[in-house]
Structure 1
Amino acid sequence: MTVEEALQMLKDNGFKYTGKREEIIRICAEQKRYLSAKDILELMKEEYPTLSFDTVYRNLSTFVQLGILEETELDGEGKYRLACSRHGHHHHHVICTVCGRTSSLPDCPMNIMSHLPDDFQVTGHKFEVYGTCKECSTV
């Protein structure tokens, strides 16, 4: 997803444009990795010195609900990244636990799950692989 697509999604869903919202989206687009609300706040402090953690967190939550950002949990903390696609195609990631970089996996492990109970209907699932990327493992 591009920054422009994300901003259009905000507009299409009745949310007002603000420089802070655009900056959060731009940071997520440029970083190409999972970031905590604290990381994003720190990156915005120079331009927005009075910005609060609550403002950042509320916007992140809104962006996740709209499908603009993807969310995961690492070390007990929510982390966010720009969604890979505006259309939210189904996919999973490998995530570096050191730097937060991600790569998409080509297949879904649910495709090989054949031992689900007959009376159970899957309505969703989450699958992520955690480890260390090449750059972080050589440090």
Structure 2
Amino acid sequence: MTAEQALQVLKEHGYKYTGKREEMIRIFAKEKRYLSARDMLEYMQMEYPALSFDTVYRNLTLFTDLDILEVTELGGERKYRFRCSTEDHHHHLICLSCGKTRHIRSCPLDGMFGEPDGFTITGHKFEIYGYCSQCEEAHP
């Protein structure tokens, strides 16, 4: 997803366009990695010194509800990133240090059991955690 696509989704759903929302979206577009609410607050405090965690959380929840952002749990904390722009089925490798992700094209569910009897799978999530090559030296 691009920043422009995300802003269009907000507009299409009738949400007010604000500088804070645009800034949050532009940060996600630039970073291309998982960010926590605290990360977002730190990025934005120079321009918006009175910005509260409540405002950040409300917007993160809105963006997640509108499928602008994906969410995962890392180290007991919710982290957010732009929804993948690719429509093909894939999963992610996620760096525990910097939050960067990489696509995995294969799906472990394919080899497990396919479509089980009496149950229709509508979605699933598979993530592998570790350290990217830039961060692994700091985590022996």
TM-score (norm 1): 0.92
Counterpart in the other structure of 2:129: 130
| Residues 1-139 of structure 1 mapped to structure 2, 5 A cutoff | 1-85=1-85, 89-114=88-113, 117-139=116-138
Percent of aligned positions that are identical: 61
Which runs of 5 or more structure 2 residues have no equivalent in the other structure? none
Which runs of 5 or more structure 1 residues have no equivalent in the other structure? none
Return the alpha-carbon distance in structure 2 between the equivalents of residues 84 and 115 of structure 1.
24
- Note closer, same or farther for the CA distance 1:116–1:106 as it changes in structure 2 (3 Å cut): closer
Return the alpha-carbon distance in structure 1 between the equivalents of residues 105 and 97 of structure 2.
23
Return the alpha-carbon distance in structure 1 between the equivalents of residues 48 and 92 of structure 2.
32
Return the alpha-carbon distance in structure 1 between the equivalents of residues 124 and 102 of structure 2.
18
**Cα RMSD (Å) of the superposition?**
1.6
8 Å CA contact 1:67–1:88 kept in 2: the answer is no
Return the alpha-carbon distance in structure 1 between the equivalents of residues 87 and 58 of structure 2.
21
Count of matched residue pairs: 138
SS at match of 2:10: helix
Deviation at residue 121 of structure 1 after TM alignment: 2.5
Deviation at residue 111 of structure 1 after TM alignment: 1.9
Deviation at residue 116 of structure 1 after TM alignment: 6.5
Deviation at residue 117 of structure 1 after TM alignment: 4.7
Off by >6 Å, runs of 4+ in structure 1: none
Return the alpha-carbon distance in structure 1 between the equivalents of residues 9 and 88 of structure 2.
16
SS at match of 1:47: coil
